[in-house]
Amino acid sequence: MTSRYLPLIDFKPDLRSAKGTRIQRGLALRVLRIITLILLDAMSLTLAWKLAIFYGTPLDSPWTERSSFQLLTLAVAIGMMAAQGLYEAGIHRRNYARLIKAVSLSEFFLLLIAFLYEPSRYVSRSSFILFWLFSVAFICVARLSFDVATNLVRTKGAIRYPVFLITDAEDQQSSIRLIEKENCYNLMGVAEASSLDRYKRESTLEFLRNQGIVEAFVSWNAIKNRLYISWHFMSAGITLRILPTEREVLPPKTVLWMIGEVPCLTIPAPIIAGSDFWVKRGFDLCCATILLLLLAPIYLLISLLIKLDSPGPILFKQKRIGLHCKEFKIWKFRTMVANAEKLQASLEAKNEIKDGVLFKLKDDPRVTRVGKFLRRYSLDELPQLFNVLIGEMSLVGPRPLPVRDVERFQTTHFIRQEVLPGITGLWQVSGRSDIENFEDGVKLDITYIENWSLWLDLKILLKTVSVVLQKTGAY
């Protein structure tokens, strides 16, 4: 009779079972960090207590006479700091605002305990206040000293965690830069996302175990079966850190909050919606009007030079794609020969933008002598102040592109057309013509849209002046 059960060797072990019992990688270093921080906090609190009692108003009390009450003081303060996550790795232990909050709350609880235990016999008010001030000061100084010492040791190559990166090829450089910002990792290697495919997972995990990897940084897109992969990393004792992909743009000002026990993202609404934009528009109108009045003599001088240099109109009007993909005419001082647009087709093969979306040519033969000077100092853009006045453009925003360029857009590129185009922008002050890949420019435009504020606009305007004067990337 045929058995209804398969042989035992055909069964794989439970997903949650590890191949042997393993202690979490890097645990010893983490425990050493926590113990060191607790000892520093205990020493700081003890010193603060003794100084507070010495300088405060003397008062006979079991709180100052018995060591058990001093131990209670330490336990409450350290317990409160642990509850606030101040012994965790990274930025958590350096959160000085939360540190002050935890120490203050522990002082409040001690005051409450003292009142309930012995309401008529406690430390004096001056001693209590001094203890709170000394505690905050000493603990913050101790934490700062610990961080400075740790960073100095890590620059020498010690107390670093060996880590490994698994991500798509196009995201590797940005992920490496992100990991290197945190001065506590030794990047032992990089692999492509395919290393976590179904038939390669076991060999990849075995390699990481043999290399002694403590943490693995894996991009979100690299994990095809997230639950399966996370269990295998946990079973191997390796901490899994999932990196967000740059291609997935989160909404601006996103805040993490909880619905019950489920984490969700929310975008808080401003008290007065759209108020910042109307302030920006008012700023644009005022600045454009003032600049047109002040620069009128320069406009006349440039017009005369263009007319003397080459035949053709003074101003150049070109169709550009603006807000919501609507066409408008952008105004510029003419810097090329009169038939420049007709000649572009013959120069397409020399385009220096790698992906071909934009057209840029460093030694463009169509540019006139005066045009080269105007372009070098971005003086050819001055007539666009009229575009700002009539609401087609802003002083700061993504640059409006010609029809030829927008026709080559991919779907993800059109987000830049949902805001008012600008005379200058984050792209222009981050490299101007030196950017050779259109995708890099789009990332800067998206960064601007995500993080827009009036202060960011002002910083870009100030940096534009510096970039123009230095002639950075201009041609």
Find the mean pLDDT for residues 34-40.
91
Q: Give the domain ranges of the chain.
A: 27-155, 161-248, 275-470
pLDDT value of position 139: 92
* CATH number belonging to domain 161-248: 3.40.50.20
Beta strands in 215-355 (DSSP E): 215-219, 239-243, 255-259, 262-266, 315-321, 327-333
Give the whole-angstrom CA distance, residue 168 versus residue 189: 14
Nearest to 389 by CA among 268, 291, 471: 291
pTM higher than 0.95, yes or no? Answer: no
State the chain's mean pLDDT as an integer.
79
> In this predicted model, which residue has the larger pLDDT, 134 or 344?
134
Give the whole-angstrom CA distance, residue 187 versus residue 204: 16
pLDDT value of position 6: 41
pLDDT digits (tens, 9 = 90+) for 295-311: 999 999 999 998 888 88
pLDDT digits (tens, 9 = 90+) for 267-306: 665 655 667 788 889 999 999 999 999 999 999 999 999 8
Residue 463 parent element (H or E): helix 454-470
* Neighbouring residues of 147: CB distance < 8 A, sequence distance ≥ 6: 93, 94
